[in-house]
Amino acid sequence: MEKTLQQRKMVDHTAPNASTGIINGKSSNVLNWDNTRFSWAYPMYKNMLANFWVPNEINMSNDRKQWASLTDDEQETFKKIIGLLAFLDSIQTDYSGQIADYLTDSSLSALMQTLAFQEVVHNQSYSYVLSSLVNQSEQEEIFEYWKHDEVLKERNAFITQGYEAFTSSPTPENFLKSVIYDVVLEGIFFYAGFSFFYNLARNGKMVATSTMINYINRDEQIHVTLFANIFKETLNENPDLDKDKFLRFTEETFKTAAELEIKWGRYIIGDRFPGIPMQDLEDYIRFMANKRSKQLGAEKPFKGYDKNPLKWIRAYQEVDEGKSDFFEQKSRQYTKVSEDNGFDEL
């Protein structure tokens, strides 16, 4: 029978401040940022703090004026994506708190608590956006989409079953698998929706909403890196775990995840938005699945797909490349970007 993970102690007088392991290790649980085991932990914490933002700093007045001028398809897709994001970030808040209980390294536990706070901010942004655009009853209806929309239910179940397997049986195997599902959630399952908002923004539509999406995107990229580091370090620290098995599982999981995201993309975008050709979006999702799988140390689930076919999207995703002043929204970030002035991501 596989061993169960130990929960982190509130305090351990006999253990060192710097932990002896990510899972099932020993630590006093006293956090000293100048005495941590992983050189990347404190820089990541500082980066997360430097990225702090709150939705109310972004002026929604222009989006409010533009909302009625959006097409029916644009409004419907807008609302369905917000409904998806609200669900995913809600369970992400809970999951990050639950996994923190089993991280026996105080610096990683602290990073997870910071991450959880950022997810709460993301959810605040969805409420803030909707309260600016629709009435209360419609906002509540959008937050219920996840219960009734069959395409949403299928892809959400893919994540929740992985998370629930860990929370109901916190073994090292379920821990590592839940981390893979986390990278799927934050590194794949947002990206069809993100492309929709960025396409609106490059056409001068709903720029304030896309500003928030851009900041969420930036946060999620850091979260993916954190979980990828935890995944690889845990395998390195625990040679008794079958590394090849987990890497095969990673590749298979990202293949299925990409297929689910493509199905979602066809459902919410399809051939209704000329700026996002569906074939390019499908190839982009496969490209991102390859990228995330490689980040975890696994093989690519899709042969080829080494280049980003949505070249224009890089200008919207990479908020730290000096292209914008988002809160003032005076930026070439939201000028029309073409394949000629976009560039490859990998």
Mean pLDDT, residues 113-133? 96
- Residue 120 falls inside a structural domain: yes
Please state the domain count of the chain: 1
> What local confidence, expressed as pLDDT, does residue 14 receive?
87
> What local confidence, expressed as pLDDT, does residue 16 receive?
81
Predicted confidence (pLDDT) per residue in 129-173, tens digit: 999 999 999 999 999 998 998 999 999 999 999 999 999 999 999
> What local confidence, expressed as pLDDT, does residue 9 receive?
87
Encoded tokens for 1: 């029978």
- Residue 47 falls inside a structural domain: no
Q: Can you give the CATH number for the domain in which 116 is found?
A: 1.10.620.20
- Predicted confidence band at 3 (pLDDT cuts at 50, 70, 90)? confident
Global pTM reads 0.90
- Residue 24 falls inside a structural domain: no
- Residue 22 falls inside a structural domain: no
* Residues whose CB falls within 8 Å of the CB of residue 164, separated by 6 or more in sequence, listed in order: none
The alpha carbon dihedral of 234, 239, 244, 249 has a sign of negative
- Residue 45 falls inside a structural domain: no
> What local confidence, expressed as pLDDT, does residue 28 receive?
87
- Predicted confidence band at 331 (pLDDT cuts at 50, 70, 90)? very low
Predicted confidence (pLDDT) per residue in 172-220, tens digit: 999 999 999 999 999 999 999 999 999 999 999 999 999 999 999 999 9
- Residue 305 falls inside a structural domain: yes
> What local confidence, expressed as pLDDT, does residue 2 receive?
64
> What local confidence, expressed as pLDDT, does residue 256 receive?
98
- Residue 94 falls inside a structural domain: yes
249-283 b/e (C-beta count within 10 Å ≥ 16 → b):
bbbebbbebbbbbbebbebbbeeebebbeeebbbb
- Residue 31 falls inside a structural domain: no
> What local confidence, expressed as pLDDT, does residue 338 receive?
39
Alpha-carbon gap, residue 81 to 142, rounded angstroms: 9
Encoded tokens for 72: 């029916």
> What local confidence, expressed as pLDDT, does residue 293 receive?
98
Predicted confidence (pLDDT) per residue in 9-57, tens digit: 898 888 888 889 999 999 888 999 999 999 999 999 999 999 999 999 9
Q: What are the Cα distances from residue 316, in Å, to 183, 277, 342?
A: 20, 17, 10
Mean pLDDT, residues 59-81? 97
Alpha-carbon gap, residue 211 to 197, rounded angstroms: 9
> What local confidence, expressed as pLDDT, does residue 318 receive?
62
Q: pLDDT over 70 for what percent of the chain?
A: 91
* Residues whose CB falls within 8 Å of the CB of residue 72, separated by 6 or more in sequence, listed in order: none
Mean pLDDT, residues 233-253? 97
Alpha-carbon gap, residue 315 to 125, rounded angstroms: 22
DSSP per residue, 208-260: HHHHHHHHHHHHHHHHHHHHHHHHHHHHHH-TTS-HHHHHHHHHHHHHHHHHH
pLDDT greater than 90 at residue 339? no
Catalytic residues: 126
Alpha-carbon gap, residue 208 to 78, rounded angstroms: 13
pLDDT greater than 50 at residue 346? no
> What local confidence, expressed as pLDDT, does residue 156 receive?
93
Predicted confidence (pLDDT) per residue in 292-327, tens digit: 999 999 999 999 999 999 989 977 766 554 344 444
> What local confidence, expressed as pLDDT, does residue 320 receive?
52
Q: Which domain holds residue 218?
A: 71-334
Encoded tokens for 132: 């600016």
Q: What is the dihedral of CA 278, 282, 287, 291, to 10 degrees?
A: 120
Alpha-carbon gap, residue 311 to 86, rounded angstroms: 27
Mean pLDDT, residues 81-97? 94
pLDDT greater than 50 at residue 290? yes
